[in-house]
Amino acid sequence: MSAQAHQVAGVQVSSASLPEFVALHPRLFVLTGASCSTDSGIPDYRDASGGWKRPQPVTYQAFVGDAATRQRYWARSLVGWRRFGRAQPNATHHALARLERQGKLALLLTQNVDRLHQAAGSENVVDLHGRLDQVRCLVCERRLARTDFQSELLRLNPAWADLDAADAPDGDADLDGRDFSRFNVPPCPHCAGMLKPDVVFFGENVPRERVDAGMQALHDADAMLVVGSSLMVYSGYRFAHAAARAGKPIAAVNMGHTRADPLLSLKIEQPCAQALAFI
C-alpha cells in the first residue's frame, strides 16, 4: 500500500489531506502510541499487521503472583532503563506540542509511558497507561522516582551493573538465558511492600479517572487524530469506537493495520514525523 494513498471506507485519500483535516477540526482529541517514540530509540511492540513482534509483556497477575517473574522483570529493567531513561523527544513529540500551543488540541491521550510528550512541552496530557519514571508500592501506594530505585537495584546487584543487551519496548532489555534467581529486588522503603512500575500491565485495569478524562475531552472535541498506534489494545480502541458512535471523524497516522481501520475517515501510512511535519 502506498505511503501517499490509502483506500479507507471506499474513499481514496492522500497525505495532502492531513493538513486539511487538522484545519477543518480545530479541537482535536489526539491519541498516541508506541510508534511516536521509535525515533527516540524506544522499540515498539507490533508489526505492520498488528501482531506481536516478540513475546507478550508480563501480566499483572504473573508479576504480583510469582517472585521469579519479578526478579526477571527488574533485572531486565535495570539494564533497559539506562537507555530508556535518557531518551529524548523527537520531531513527532515536538509537532504535537506545537499543535497544543496553537490551541488546536483538546487533549493528548497517550498510551506511551515514556513521558516524552511532556518533555517536548505538551501540558494537556493524560498518561493512559501510567509512567515508567515512577515506581509504586502496592501496599502503601507511595511513589518513588525510578532513578532512585535504579540506584538501589544497582547497590543490591552490582554484578549486573556492566551488563548490556538489546533494547526491548518500555525500558525492557533482552536478557533471556541468564539466571535471575539471585537477583535482589528491594521492597518499599516505607512499608516493605511490593514495588511495581507505575504503569498499567496487561491484565490490569486502566484507572477510571483516566478513562473518564479521555471521554470528556473526546466529547468536547470535534475530531479524533490517532498517531502511531495500531489500537489493538482495547484501552485505546475504545476511544475510536466512542468517536465513531458520536459521529466524530477519525484520522490515523500509522504504518500498517489498525483495529479501527473500518472507522476511519482518513488514514496516512507514513512515519509519524513525516506526516506531521506540516504542523
Known catalytic residue at 117? no
Q: Choosing from 25, 129, 190, 219, which is the catalytic residue? A: 129
Q: What's the grid cell of residue 217?
A: 475531552
CA dist., res. 2 & res. 226, Å (int): 19
Determine contact, residues 33/236, Cβ cutoff 8 Å. yes
235 CB burial (10 A radius; 0-12, 13-18, 19+): middle
Consecutive H or E run containing 19: helix 17-24
CA dist., res. 207 & res. 149, Å (int): 24
- Which 3 state secondary structure label does DSSP give 159? helix
241 CB burial (10 A radius; 0-12, 13-18, 19+): middle
- Which 3 state secondary structure label does DSSP give 127? strand
For the annotated catalytic residues, the residue numbers are 129
